[in-house]
Structure 1
Amino acid sequence: MEPRCHSWTHWADEVVLMSDTTSRLLIEDARKALVRRLVSVCGQRDLIEAYVGWILGDKTKEFVDFEAAALASKLRISEPGRTYRDVAVLGFAEHLSPHLDTLYALRKGLDWMLGRRPFLPNREPDFEVDGIALLGMAVGILASGEWEKRKESEKWFIALLAETLRRSRFELWDRSLIYAAQLLITKESTAEREITPDLALALAAKGFISVKEDYERKALELIVNQPNYAEQQVDVVATRLAALNWLMRQVPTVLPNRAAPEDVINLLERVRDSLRRWCWEEKPRVRKAEAVPVKWEILNEYHVQDLLWVILAPIFPDLEDEENLPSLGHKHPRCDLGIPSLRLIIEVKFIYNGTSSEFSRIIEEVASDASLYLSNDSGYDKIIVFVWDNSRRIEQHGELRQGLKKLQGVREAIVVPRPGKMRA
């Protein structure tokens, strides 16, 4: 095996500062160069296009047709002309977009791969040394849920990666991809140390790992100091754009320092006080003949989600709503609000009548949701529960909060009663 060789080890400690005007111009120039390079990808419907779609998530429509690539592989997986690349494409597809209904095709593809022996004599290695494909298969195994071949697939894949790393010598980028695949399946910290900073940040953006600030600085230097992206391979470019997007998104737009879950808790705890100015007019406040009293009614949990979105979205640019999380067997969990950079879910509940059974049901629902939301593959590890009590049963709030905070993964529980001025 070749000795470890990280291309960033010689870099100086002085790095680009995000707050400096010149640095921001350099960052914007780098971003434009990355985007220009990616425009050439669209329409290929191949593994690289699928990887670009997966690593960039919801920022891909201008670059790739992710859905077309996924559906093309879904159709091919039952045909004689299928390849290992189709299995990898389906892995990316099922993880990013379960609504494309690729789960059955993915499992069929993984089952087919189990019958393939690596490094056969008189055959040039292909799937064994394709870093993008190996990462796609790792993602696919995670996204395949619980099924009869899951453990067998993991065992086969772990053995394959070990043999690949033992037999072959790779450039730094391909080596990084293979170690990333190994990390996703084995969770071994030794693999994490072999991943380049740009790929590490892109994986952090998807919730697979956490990175320290020194890795962020190294990734930023790597992105800004690239002399010519026009000649760079597309998968590297997409990864660096994903890393740059995450660096820019994870810094809140108005908080002076890096955000933490406690900042979200502080904001949500003040919702109750801020409702003092909530619009609830008994008579019009403007003197116009056609004016009528306006009441901003809150009638269900979707209205509460809208309220929280208005509060949080300007501050946390990576806020997601109704996000689909990786499937668990036949379960397809979807959280209310999520902040990926904080690995934080905000679960919204609504109390209608304030009966004892309704308060108990809230705790039971959150307990059930938490077990789905905080799976190893979800990218989230903590929950804030926000409860709107339309019944104003304030005497029950303390017990409800205590019960919710005892649940595994629940960082805080906030209960807001319907304001007194909002009379039904």
Structure 2
Amino acid sequence: MRTIIFDAFSGASGDMILGTLISLGVDREKVREVIESSVDVSVRVGEANKRGICAVDVHIDVDHEEHARHYDELVSIVMNAGLPPKVEHSVLAVFELMGRAESKVHGDPLDELHFHEVGQNDALADVIGSCFAMHEIGADAIYCLPINVGGGRVKAAHGSMPVPAPATLEILQQTGLVFYGSGKRELLTPTGAAILGHFARPIENFPKGKVLSVGYGAGDADTEDPNVLRSTLINMEDDLSRDSIEVLETNVDDVTGEVLGNLFEKLLSIGARDVAIVPATMKKGRTGHIIKVITKPEHSATIAREIMRETGTLGIRVIPTKHRYTADRRMDSVKVVIRAKTYDIPVKIAEDRTGEILHISAEYEDCKRIAKELDLPLKNIIRKVEEEAWNIHGPDDLV
């Protein structure tokens, strides 16, 4: 399974992502042709040496000064660029990530939002080129190690703010990428965060596999450490992710349904991955329950103590379970039209490491709200949302 691992030990920006993908093997002439046919820029691809590391250096040249663009203008430019459908979808998703982040930071509705730096032609070129390159390389899965966001302060609309910049921090929150801060300058840009956040899932360490190729993309600044984004194309062995868990189990009797219901919610809030409470017949014919909890080993002691406090049980069985196979999960959203109204509804997508989608489920609370608003059966709303999500994200040959 061909897998890309991004190692952003010196942060990431749009041009660094584009450079590292070209270094990894994407055809630079194809990238140049796609960018220059979509945006009024010229692309230069060369090499730079960053503290002894040779890296691909991408420069986007813009001939004239540009004005700020509305979000809708950016969407129109992308949709009229003639990009392949999957590339267009990714570019729009990246800009939507940045748009929602800016919208939350500044308090402006998305359709009234002005993009400044991230809405100019060089940023457009970086996003379009990077999305094209991501699809062109044909990886089965894409991951990102913890990202160094840098340190110090960054210029903002009304003065300066600590790194990471507010919009970058919002994107990190939305996408769940893992990050840390080290250094004296901004290393992760909003564009870099949005591209990685859209394509890559967080991973703590390199997975088991064999290296196929390594790429380096150069950043503009000269920093104390090599200012490069490293990417590694590896051949991974497993299609499903693995993790280590423990199963906690105990039998209880003489515990009311109200206490068990409260315990269920409390355990989930303190680290339980899953909770099951099963009716059982105990010794001497008494009725009772078996409580089973799946959790990470580091949460076991806390959860066991809480079960004892709430139920009075005197012992908890701990069953170590190694290498549990899990589907990788990510959130997306789909737009559906119901009774002439458009709704943007979150969906949870479960997939293996090859990117094959195993299951899609609509978010219950959002569907419930719409069903109540329109006085329609909940099952109809869920079915419509999930069908639309499969149409967008599922394989082309889905029957």
- TM-score tier (shorter): under 0.3
* Larger fraction in strand: 2
Which structure has the higher relative contact order (CA within 8 Å, separation 6+)? 2
More helix, by proportion: 1
TM-score (norm 1): 0.25
TM-score normalised by L of structure 2 = 0.26
